[in-house]
């Protein structure tokens, strides 16, 4: 796929998408070092991991790991499947990559050259 720079042919992002796509809640889920460590660990595992397996990747209590994973799950970044008494966590890679790429596209579509020239300028002066 050759989307990027001098605007995408298919994606039709505009300036206004920047504020919509860049969701603070999404970033909040990713702004903790331990959560990134968990995602990193999950990314390196060929198959979903249990909470116990993930515990070794960050030096915090076991309950804390559980909570971080629940947060990532609630943010739509992870996926949890209960199998017996274990819960297997995995990353929604497709969705996560798509969200990040959509933001990049929106930014590119807005000011692709970085010259300060916007493609979709609507300087809404509030009040």
Residues that bind DNA (CB under 7 A): 28, 31-32, 34-35, 50-52, 59-64, 66-71, 80, 82, 84-88
| Choice between 55 and 103, CB closer to DNA | 55
Binders in 98-127 for a copy of itself, by CB under 8 A: 98, 100-101, 103-105, 107-108, 110-114, 116-118, 120-127
- Distances in Å between the alpha carbon of 9 and those of 5, 6, 109? 10, 9, 10
Provide the minimum distance between the beta carbon of 85 and a copy of itself in the complex, in angstroms, as a whole number: 21
CA angle (36 as vertex; 72, 50 as ends), nearest 5: 60
Q: Does residue 83 touch a copy of itself according to CB under 8 A?
A: no
77 counts as binding a copy of itself under rule CB under 8 A: no
Report the C-alpha gap between 73 and 15 in whole angstroms: 29
């Amino acid at each position: 796929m050759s989307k990027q720079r001098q605007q995408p042919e298919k994606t039709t992002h505009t300036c206004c998408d920047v504020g919509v796509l860049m969701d603070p809640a999404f970033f909040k889920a990713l702004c903790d070092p331990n959560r990134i460590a968990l995602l990193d660990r999950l990314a390196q595992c060929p198959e979903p991991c249990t909470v116990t397996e993930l515990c070794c990747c960050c030096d915090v209590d076991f309950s804390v790991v559980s909570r971080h994973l629940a947060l990532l799950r609630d943010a739509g970044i992870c996926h949890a499947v209960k199998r017996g008494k274990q819960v297997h966590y995995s990353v929604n890679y497709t969705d996560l990559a798509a969200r990040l790429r959509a933001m990049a596209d929106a930014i590119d579509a807005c000011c692709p050259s970085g010259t300060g020239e916007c493609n979709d300028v609507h300087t809404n002066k509030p009040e």
